[in-house]
Structure 1
Amino acid sequence: MKQVTISNTFMTLMVLDYGATIQKLLLKGKDGSYTNVVVGYNHPSRYLLDENILGASVGRYAGRISKGGFDLDREKFFLHQQEGVHLHGGKEGFHQKFWNIEEVNTKENPHVKLSYKSKHLEEGYPGNLTVNVTYRLMSNALQIVYEGVTDRSTVVNLTNHSYFKLDSNPYIDDCELQLNCPYLLETKENLLPTGDIIPVRKTELDFLLSKEIGVKRLDTVFIKDTGSEKVGELHSNLSGISMKVYSNQPAVVVYTPPDFPGICFENQNYPDAPNQPDFPNSILRPGEIYNNISIFKFDIEQ
């Protein structure tokens, strides 16, 4: 397993080739000390046994797909499923693959670029798909860019699965969360979308104004305000660290796991879009370029 480290004045990023995984993101404080703002393992080999997809790149389709597959151009494609749900790319998604390290730049706006080639019918998906991810440090922000091209029409939905944790608390309940997301996708008990879109205002999932996350665990598809790139903001009163999230994607899955502290902002298309004609298009055709851009910008109170 290979590990790459890049740094600038404000941050240090450690990336693994396995799963194109963010292992550590160290934020420099006012006193010169560093805070790791993502959940991860110290030893890279631990990721081979990880079931939480810590910091990894998820694909070929992040989120859930129903019906054991999807129809595309009058052809049915069958996907791996458990209890009627296909999740995060299948039995062995992109987060369980070794990616190639293509570029490492340690100078101005340092970045590392990794790539993976997914063969036709890998996990049941059509087309030879080539994807890459670029992690770039831009002052006090981390930019993540996913791109993809295919030789045959397919469906694509990539995301990063980092769990952010801004302080040393053994829980995340006291962190304040604000989401620029006026709607969410209604889901069934198995978390597959019903197809309905629900306003969040005056519900327990209303984070339009900043409030504590609380004890309720989230695994929710929020729909971003179409008029803004900003997804939302996370703030810790304990550490004074804030993180603003930006994305060019229509939705974000906000996930707070039940068994350890952390919060995911999975910027992506809607789950099950291949089977929901009213959802945003998830089809990538030959000659097109899939593009998913996220920015995580950090600030520390004086």
Structure 2
Amino acid sequence: MTLPFRQTPFGRLADGSPVSLFTLTNADGMVARVTDFGGIITELHARDRNGMLADVVLGFDHLAPYQRKHPYFGALIGRYANRIADGRFSLDGVGYQLEVNNGPNHLHGGRAGLHNVKWNADIDGAVLTLRRRCAAGEQGYPGTLDVTASYQLTNDNELIMRLNATTDQATPINLTQHSYFNLAGTGDILGHELTLNADAFTPVNEVLIPTGQVRPVTGTAFDFRTPRTVGERIGDADPQLRYAGGYDHNFVLNGSGPAARLHDRASGRVLELWTAEPGVQFYSGNFLDGSLSGKGRQYTIHSGLCLEPQHFPDSPNQPAFPNTILRPGEQYATESRYRFFTD
């Protein structure tokens, strides 16, 4: 069955380029809205146990706030999701310097990363496909990178994201989706129950760069192998939580079953994340400070949380971590599924 799509204007960029908003709707009435600026999911409406729809992602009503500095609400992230230490890496004997945009580090592809550019959009049946060519040297990265991102909203209430890329020169790549979820649609996420299918995580230093260790979660505030509320141990006297002001860590996935399960008992909404990626970054919205608002909400600390399927942070400088180098003739391909249902 072909799912209905609707394309509407969403404003213009400074150079006059028009930006569109694509509305995807399935047979259950679930709605996703995605813009071709940054591949941003601006809205995602899911039903509660009583059949009522609510928008379960953070974002803005209009294009303009997405063009200003914001915490990557709903965006596609690349070329490299997460942090690279000092914005530097060496590849095949050549050193590269990336833009430094997060303290001493490079974060999420730099200020003009994939979250902050217009993509070319096509609709093919039930799939919205976005394409972007990243020129060699953008943000300091080697190689011309061709990226394709697709969104599909199925009648099984799954939002499927597929990411593909090719390059003409060896380059690091680590793409992800950066939606902030709040299954209640309001308030904070400290009472949400989270399960992570991970026996270990990668601890970080004071500037949130992995130390290179892979640490078991057993006996720590990072053990979400069984359901635990986000707020249960977020205030523990653990240096890892102090560095990040809460959770902002990569979890090493076990590789079978759902990567994550998020449950809001009040509404009954459940989100399961299924992914082919080796890690997921769990971020508890620690840096939201009330300075931003949208869609009738003020975004204060812990207003939403992120579950970002990914390879590990700083992998170009961490030889023990899974490889993130894409070479000519290879195909970068990954798929993640966000499945919604009620208890």
TM (norm. structure 2) is 0.83
Which of 83, 96, 115 is residue 116 of structure 2 equivalent to? 96
Paired residue type of 2:275: S
Alignment match, 1:206: 223
SS at match of 2:67: helix
Distance in structure 2 (CA, Å) of the matches to 1:229 and 1:120: 37
Distance in structure 2 (CA, Å) of the matches to 1:148 and 1:222: 24
Superposed, 1:81-230 pairs within 5 Å as 81-82=100-101, 83-105=103-125, 110-138=126-154, 139-214=156-231, 216=234, 217-226=246-255, 228-230=256-258
Alignment match, 2:8: none
- Counterparts in 2 of 1:29 and 1:239: CA distance versus 1, 3 Å: closer
Superposed, 1:16-35 pairs within 5 Å as 16-29=35-48, 32-35=51-54
Given the alignment of the two structures, is residue 232 of structure 1 paired with residue 260 of structure 2, yes or no? yes
SS at match of 2:64: helix
- Counterparts in 2 of 1:41 and 1:154: CA distance versus 1, 3 Å: same
Q: 1:3-30, CA deviations, whole angstroms, 9 ceiling, x for partnerless residues?
A: 1111111321110011011011111456
Q: 1:180-207, CA deviations, whole angstroms, 9 ceiling, x for partnerless residues?
A: 0110001001000110110001111110
Q: How much does 1:249 deviate?
A: 0.4
SS at match of 2:188: coil
Distance in structure 2 (CA, Å) of the matches to 1:186 and 1:236: 27
Given the alignment of the two structures, is residue 61 of structure 1 paired with residue 91 of structure 2, yes or no? no
Cα RMSD, aligned residues only: 1.4
- Counterparts in 2 of 1:104 and 1:49: CA distance versus 1, 3 Å: farther
SS at match of 2:201: strand
Q: How much does 1:81 deviate?
A: 1.4
Given the alignment of the two structures, is residue 242 of structure 1 paired with residue 284 of structure 2, yes or no? no
Alignment match, 2:305: 263
- Counterparts in 2 of 1:31 and 1:200: CA distance versus 1, 3 Å: closer
- Counterparts in 2 of 1:178 and 1:30: CA distance versus 1, 3 Å: closer
SS at match of 2:65: helix
SS at match of 1:2: strand
Alignment match, 1:74: 93
Number of residues of Structure 1 aligned to a counterpart in Structure 2: 296
Distance in structure 2 (CA, Å) of the matches to 1:30 and 1:234: 15
Paired residue type of 1:279: F
Distance in structure 1 (CA, Å) of the matches to 2:31 and 2:158: 11
Given the alignment of the two structures, is residue 279 of structure 1 paired with residue 321 of structure 2, yes or no? yes
Paired residue type of 1:91: R
Paired residue type of 2:260: G
Paired residue type of 1:223: V
Distance in structure 2 (CA, Å) of the matches to 1:213 and 1:78: 36
Alignment match, 2:25: 7
Contact 1:156 1:283 (C-alpha < 8 Å) held by counterparts: yes
Distance in structure 2 (CA, Å) of the matches to 1:264 and 1:44: 21
Paired residue type of 1:7: T
Q: 1:213-247, CA deviations, whole angstroms, 9 ceiling, x for partnerless residues?
A: 10623111111003x14211000011100111111
Paired residue type of 2:139: E
Distance in structure 2 (CA, Å) of the matches to 1:186 and 1:218: 11
Structure 1 segments of 4+ aligned residues over 2 angstroms from their partners: 28-33, 102-105
Q: How much does 1:31 deviate?
A: 5.1
Distance in structure 2 (CA, Å) of the matches to 1:160 and 1:62: 9
Distance in structure 2 (CA, Å) of the matches to 1:26 and 1:137: 11
Contact 2:204 2:210 (C-alpha < 8 Å) held by counterparts: yes
Paired residue type of 2:45: L
Out of 92-101 and 76-85, give the one that drifted further: 76-85
Alignment match, 2:296: none
Contact 1:185 1:221 (C-alpha < 8 Å) held by counterparts: yes
Q: 1:256-296, CA deviations, whole angstroms, 9 ceiling, x for partnerless residues?
A: 11233111111000011101111100010111111121111
